[in-house]
Structure 1
Amino acid sequence: MIHFLTTCRFGKWWGCIPLLLVSFFLSAQSSTRPEQVRIRYAKGFSVRYAGTYKIVHILSPFGKSTDTARYLLIPRGKPRPKGFAGYEVVETPVRSLVAMSSMHIGLLGFLGAEDVLTGLGNLKYVSSPKVIARIEAGKVKEVGKDQTLNEELVVAMHPDLVMAVGTPNARLDRYETLRRAGIPVLVNSEWVETTPLARAEWVKLVAVLLNRETLVNQQFAKVEAEYNRLAALTRAVKTRPGVITGTAYKDSWFVPNGDSYMARFFKDAGASYPWAHTRSTGSLPLNFETVFPVGLKADVWLNVGLTDADTKKGVLGKDPRYAEFKAFKSGRMYNYSKRTNSRGSNDYWESGAVSPHRVLADLIRILHPELLPTHELYYYQQVK
């Protein structure tokens, strides 16, 4: 820039006008960039800026046709602009939020915005000390359980926004009562993203709602850089231990599909995953007989189960055949339950969603301890 101005000073001044305009435009763009988010990984939502307004599209990945929810984010007190028919209006910054899943707490915690939360689908499964304190102070109400919603209570609370969980059977018209009451509903389907960074990037959506773009850009950049650094450590590993994940529940054994974010975790951690070839997101239901031969050979058993599977005795209590698994015999069994509190709530499902670098570091330490010899497991612990 200094060189450019020096050149203009001794040249014809009118020849500098186009360059000055370009320079001014680039400078303006640079100065506003920290206040906007750029979505690089997530496929389930998009954000566009139009002056003081923000345009958000949420894409439902369920069903044969894509169901798109459209939102117009307007600065509080500003009039609704023309030309956005069919868009649901959300005033920003959002001051009160009802979340139907405790997993959404991690999104708020990443931004230091727990004080925005005024309602939860279930108060039991909470790990965040800040949110627990708000619950105990009566500042967060329970608005439903098991995906049910007390609509009368929510209407009486009249939050600025309700964040629901995206599921195959949760269509947008399910929340028509709330919409008629002037309460916008945003469906969060982060769990069907195909990579851990894409899943974590949903925190940018929350930042857009709270006008905290600058903060989220700074924070997410650190997570992104660390995750990519860790993933690079395993690219040249000579051996990839075979892994099995989960346990059977009733008649089904659900394993991550090959296009799920969990399968990507296994790949980036340097594992060999038996169902990496399946082309779908979410979970793949299998029967015990299909998974059992894989368990006999798998080197490491990950995500063994809930708190009742934190000991080998507890695992055998579910099914004595688990004793035949190679990982059971060697002791290479690990569960993501280290950060479980006295309420039975697990921080893996809260902060873990926005801290994929910590999850990946744990997995690399388990699968390739020589690559991270000093790392202390954060979410995972060995089943003994």
Structure 2
Amino acid sequence: SNFITLEALDRVIGITSSRFLFNKEMKQRLKEGTTKKIGMEGNFDAEVIIQANPDLILISPFKRGGYDSLKELGIPLLPHLGYKEMTPLGQAEWIKCMGLLVGLESEAIARFETIEKRYNELLQLTAGVKKRPVVFSGELRGGNWYAVGGRSFLAQLFRDAGADYFLKDDTRSGGVTLDFETVYSQADKADFWRILNSYPGEFSYNALKAEDSRYADFRAFREKGVVYCNLRERAFYESSPTQPEVVLADLIRAFHPDLLPDHTPVYYELIK
């Protein structure tokens, strides 16, 4: 997302995955072979990497690893920890680091200042909201409900959008595994339900109920409060890290529509 924002995709000669790739320029680079697929964490293709001959490899050290084999190639490895940031602006600020690497530091600083200014303007909008709706997140997967703690990036985003996360008193910043009964006891009366998935086709309340009939018991289901992003249709992972102000605007539009009546959702929107 940083290189897309900086219009510096010509500096990217290898990527790990194109599963949720939307960017036309990068798709063309992959087709032409100017950018290579180098495998995935834990299973990198050393031969392809050697052929690409990068000056630097950005790594996510908390993912599946496999970096020992990369070290043997003698190419410098630089940890990119943007996704571990607990605030949206903190994540977006990593564009400065990426700009520095590719000689676009001033452009990166200017871009971040624009992001920060708009984000803070939106924060002022929600600062005085009289009613803070409650929002919960996640779905059941294999009998477990996967959510994140109350000190997480997502919880902060909800706070900034003028809402209260259903686990706001939880002190964890990472993933939290719950059972359905625990979630229902804390979220049955929540106003909104945030869902992010890659549903094949048009996601709807009927589709949600078909996954588990108990979903229909949530107030957010009954009163049509599902705030949804489909990863198959929207470039969430690709672009949202450098557009926190857009994500925030989407959530404000859903939680407090009177505050941003003219905003057109980009990532998240209420399912009708």
TM-score, length of structure 2 as denominator length: 0.93
Match of 1:75? none
Aligned AA (2:264): E
Over residues 138-192 of structure 1, what are the superposed CA-to-partner deviations in whole Å (9 max), with x where a residue is unaligned? 222211136521223212322111112231664xxx4233333221112222222
Q: In 2, are the aligned partners of 1:223 and 1:357 still within 8 Å (CA)?
A: yes
Q: Which residue in the other structure is 1:216 paired with?
A: 108
Equivalences for residues 1-384 of structure 1 within 5 A: 106-145=1-40, 147-167=42-62, 170=65, 174-308=66-200, 310-337=203-230, 344=232, 346-384=234-272
Tell me which amino acid in the other structure corresponds to 2:13: T
Could you list the runs of 5+ residues in structure 2 that have no partner in the other structure? none
**Alpha-carbon distance in structure 2 between the residues aligned to 1:335 and 1:262:** 14
- Partner Cα distance (2:122, 2:38) in 1: 40
- Structure 1 gap segments, 5+ residues each: 1-105
Once the two structures are TM-superposed, the CA of residue 128 in structure 1 deviates from its matched residue by 1.3
| Greater radius of gyration (CA) | 1
> Contact conserved, 2:224 with 2:271, CA < 8 A, in 1?
yes
The structure-2 alpha-carbon separation of the partners of 1:261 and 1:270, relative to structure 1 and needing over 3 Å to count, comes to: same
Alpha-carbon spacing, 1:304–1:110, altered in 2? closer, same or farther (3 Å): closer
1:118·1:141 contact (CA, 8 Å) conserved in 2?
Answer: yes
Q: 1:228-283: CA deviations, max 9, x gaps?
A: 11011111111001111121111322222222111110000010112122223222
Instruction: Tell me the number of residue pairs that the alignment of Structure 1 and Structure 2 aligns.
Output: 271
The aligned residue for residue 29 of structure 1 is none
**1:123 and 1:135 in contact (8 A); partners too:** no
- TM-score, length-scaled by structure 1: 0.67
Q: Tell me the alpha carbon deviations over residues 98-117 of structure 1, each in whole angstroms, 9 at most, x when there is no partner.
A: xxxxxxxx111111111111
Q: Contact 1:126 / 1:345 at 8 angstroms: preserved in 2?
A: no
Task: Determine what percentage of the aligned residue pairs are the same residue.
Answer: 32
Match of 2:39, SS state, is coil
- Structure 1 residue 202, shift from structure 2 partner: 1.2
Q: Which runs of 4+ in 1 moved over 4 A?
A: none
Distance 1:168-1:129 versus aligned 2 partners, 3 A rule: closer
* Counterpart-to-counterpart distance in 2, 1:169 and 1:352: 23
C-alpha distance in 2, partners of 1:113/1:168? 25
Task: Tell whether the 8 Å contact from 2:254 to 2:270 is kept in structure 1 after alignment.
Answer: no
